[in-house]
């Protein structure tokens, strides 16, 4: 086997994305959304999971966007030209509730220790302090995929004791709660990939615990950025750093313009481009 060359030049967001890609298995039928999870799937497809089947809420089944460019949205032309099938939102959702999707990715504004995610609002539902876009497909994805992975920037105000609104179900209040709420047994979040490390859920209690920290990150730092008293594995491992090739692929092939990974800079440049007559 070829020896892996590890990179030392990477951002935590890039590492998060690469760790998310490692959660994908070959032949997974994956529900992809816009943003980092999308890049993660494309990275996986170009590395260890060439047979993964990317599908989106917009109706594309087995899409092949990197033939053209980094898609700007799941409804992007790049997602459709080159796909094997196009149906529509209900068409894909019916495949989801039928139990045919292996993997989904979920992100949001808040997550709690049982992996419940809020992407709807902060504060009172009817007069919120901050309103976000809402569930979209997140609730059904977290309900009906065989396993789903949470991707979060690790900040204290996002890792909270109790989310203000459960948009996407984790394990609710603990073991058995998903089944009691009408969801299929054996489903639920399997991992949380953050900017600081990798967390998993205890098989018995369904509570989130710290499994691995990224290079140069300490357990204390993760605990400090979590609102509840975070449980920690006996032997906390260190995340495998990104390889030189993974970083090259991310920067040169997956997001060469920095649409996602250098968002602010990209947006500034886009407006300048438009205004420059």
Partner 1 sequence: MKQPAKESKIMSMTEAISKHVNDGDTLYLPWGAPGGPAAAVHELIRQGKKDLTVVSMALSGYVDPLFYGDQVKRIITAWVGTELVGLAQIFRRKVQNAQVAIEDYANFHVGMMLWGGRANVPFIPVPVDRASGILNEKGCLGDKKYSIVECPFTGKKTVILPTFQPDVGIIHVQRSDAQGNAQTWGTHVDFKSEVHLACKKLIVTAEEIVDSDVISHDPDRTMCPAFKVCAVVEAPWGAHPEAMYGHYDNDLAYRIYFEHSTYDDENTKKWMDEWVFGVKSRDEYIAHYIEKFGYSKLMRLKPMPFYSGSVNYGRPKPEVF
Give yes or no for residue 27 binding partner 1 (CB under 8 A): no
Count of helix runs (H) and strand runs (E) in the chain: 9, 14
Distance CA 211, CA 131 (A): 32
57 flagged as catalytic:
yes
Binder of partner 1 out of 11, 87, 205, 243 (CB under 8 A): 87
Residues comprising the chain, all counted: 277
Of 182 and 186, the one with the shorter C-beta distance to partner 1 is 182
Q: Give the residue ranges of DSSP H helices in 34-181.
A: 36-46, 77-80, 89-97, 138-144, 177-180
Give yes or no for residue 162 binding partner 1 (CB under 8 A): no
Of 52 and 79, the one with the shorter C-beta distance to partner 1 is 79
Q: Please list every residue from 44 through 63 that binds partner 1, using CB under 8 A.
A: 57-60
Distance CA 27, CA 274 (A): 41
Binder of partner 1 out of 66, 183, 219, 232 (CB under 8 A): 183
Selection from 193, 97, 108 nearest residue 146 by Cα: 97
Binder of partner 1 out of 80, 107, 145, 158 (CB under 8 A): 80
Distance CA 69, CA 162 (A): 39
Residues noted as catalytic:
57
Residues that bind partner 1 (CB under 8 A): 34-35, 57-60, 72-77, 79-81, 86-91, 93, 96-97, 116, 118, 120-121, 125-140, 143-144, 165-169, 172, 177-178, 180-183, 259-260, 263, 267, 270-271, 273-275, 277
């Amino acid at each position: 086997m070829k020896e892996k060359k590890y990179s030392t030049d990477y951002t935590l967001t890039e590492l998060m994305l690469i760790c998310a890609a490692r959660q994908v298995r070959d032949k997974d039928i994956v529900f992809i959304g816009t943003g980092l999870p999308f890049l993660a799937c494309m990275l996986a497809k170009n590395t260890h999971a060439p047979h993964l089947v990317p599908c989106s809420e917009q109706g594309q089944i087995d899409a092949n966007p990197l033939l053209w460019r980094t898609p700007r949205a799941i409804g992007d032309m790049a997602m459709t030209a080159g796909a094997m099938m196009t149906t529509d939102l209900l068409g894909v959702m019916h495949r989801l509730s039928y139990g045919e999707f292996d993997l989904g990715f979920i992100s949001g504004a808040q997550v709690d220790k049982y992996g419940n995610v809020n992407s709807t609002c902060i504060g009172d539902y009817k007069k919120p302090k901050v309103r976000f876009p809402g569930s979209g497909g997140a609730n059904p994805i977290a309900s009906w995929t065989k396993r789903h992975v949470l991707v979060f920037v690790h900040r204290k105000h996002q890792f909270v004791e109790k989310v203000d609104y459960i948009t996407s179900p984790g394990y609710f209040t603990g073991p058995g709660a998903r089944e009691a709420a009408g969801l299929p047994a054996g489903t639920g979040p399997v991992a949380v990939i953050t900017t600081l490390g990798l967390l998993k859920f205890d098989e018995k209690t369904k509570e989130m615990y710290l499994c691995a920290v990224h290079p140069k990150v300490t357990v204390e730092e993760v605990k400090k950025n979590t609102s509840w008293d975070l449980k920690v594995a006996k032997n906390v491992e260190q995340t495998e750093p990104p390889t030189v090739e993974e970083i090259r692929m991310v920067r040169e092939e997956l997001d060469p313009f920095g649409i996602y990974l250098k968002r602010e800079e990209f947006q500034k440049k886009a407006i300048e481009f438009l205004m420059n007559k």
